[in-house]
Amino acid sequence: MPSPKRQRKPAPRRQLTVPAILDAALKLVDNEGLDALTMRRLADELDASPMSLYRYIRTRDEIVEGLADLALEQLDIQPPADLTWQEQLRQIFTGIHDVLLAHPGLIHILEHQPVTAEHAFTAVERLLAILRKAGFSGSDAVATIAALESYTFGFTLQQRARAGTDQHDHLTRLQHLPPDQFPNTVELANEFGTWASETHFAHGLQRLLTGIQHDLSHSTTPVRAHVS
């Protein structure tokens, strides 16, 4: 005796939405890497057929783009304004580094399609503001951002690549190189155990900032500078 109102559908069947799809995709990419993001795997995760996703996104690449934006949302870049510009930059790029590490797949996304995401623009705007206020010329500010971004990006990439390898193997391999051809490498093999560590990141970032500051304070001020 079936009641007229009984509902036999397996569950209220949560609606598919773009955010739900992106959430599932980010989880997949963080846990298993960008390669694991297949339409079929993703659909499985959402208890749907691969084709149903195409109602919401046009192509797999569109999902990938969306992921970049999603992860960059976490970049809430507002260092205290009373810090020196060096310290503000240091905090911002350390924050970027942290987000990149937290989402292991993100870095492989950003390298293929340069950051056109909305949230990237707000970060750039804030960086420009800090640098202009510190006295950088417009073109110098842009060059400076490019340098800091390159360093942060490249470093995190090395860190990621390193994480995927057997560290012990690598060190013993270094130790057993022919000492006549590789005297320094063999002697310093142990030092490579800390290669691309967090300490290295902070140290290098600091050095880059030092160089930038040195450059700024020793260049002729743009105010009525004469070409000699």
Partner DNA sequence: ACCTGAACACCGTTCAAGT
The residue ranges that bind its own copies (CB under 8 A) are 108, 110-114, 116, 121-122, 124-125, 128-129, 132, 138-139, 141-143, 146-147, 149-155, 157-158, 160-162, 164-165, 170, 173-174, 177, 181-185, 187-188, 191-192, 194-196, 199-200, 203-204, 206-212, 214-215
Token pair listed for 157: 């990439």
Q: Between 29 and 130, whose beta carbon lies closer to DNA?
A: 29
Task: State the binding partner of 191 from its own copies, DNA, none, CB within 5 to 8 A by kind.
Answer: its own copies
SS3 helix, strand, coil % of the chain, rounded to 5?
A: 65, 0, 35
Shortest distance, position 183 Cβ to its own copies, whole Å: 8
Token pair listed for 124: 């750039």
Task: State the binding partner of 28 from DNA, its own copies, none, CB within 5 to 8 A by kind.
Answer: none
* Alpha carbons 85 and 89: distance in angstroms, whole number: 6
Residue with tokens 């997949």: 28
Q: Residue 110: is it exposed, middle or buried by C-beta count within 10 angstroms (0-12/13-18/19+)?
A: buried
Task: State the binding partner of 128 from DNA, its own copies, none, CB within 5 to 8 A by kind.
Answer: its own copies
Task: State the binding partner of 134 from DNA, its own copies, none, CB within 5 to 8 A by kind.
Answer: none
Handedness of CA 170, 203, 211, 152 (dihedral sign): positive
96-115 binders of DNA (CB under 7 A): none
Going by C-alpha positions, the residue among 222, 98, 213, 73 that lies closest to residue 155 is 98
Q: Between 5 and 218, whose beta carbon lies closer to DNA?
A: 5
Task: State the binding partner of 167 from its own copies, DNA, none, CB within 5 to 8 A by kind.
Answer: none
What is the amino acid identity at position 20?
A: A
Shortest distance, position 201 Cβ to its own copies, whole Å: 8
For residue 79, what is the DSSP state? Answer: -
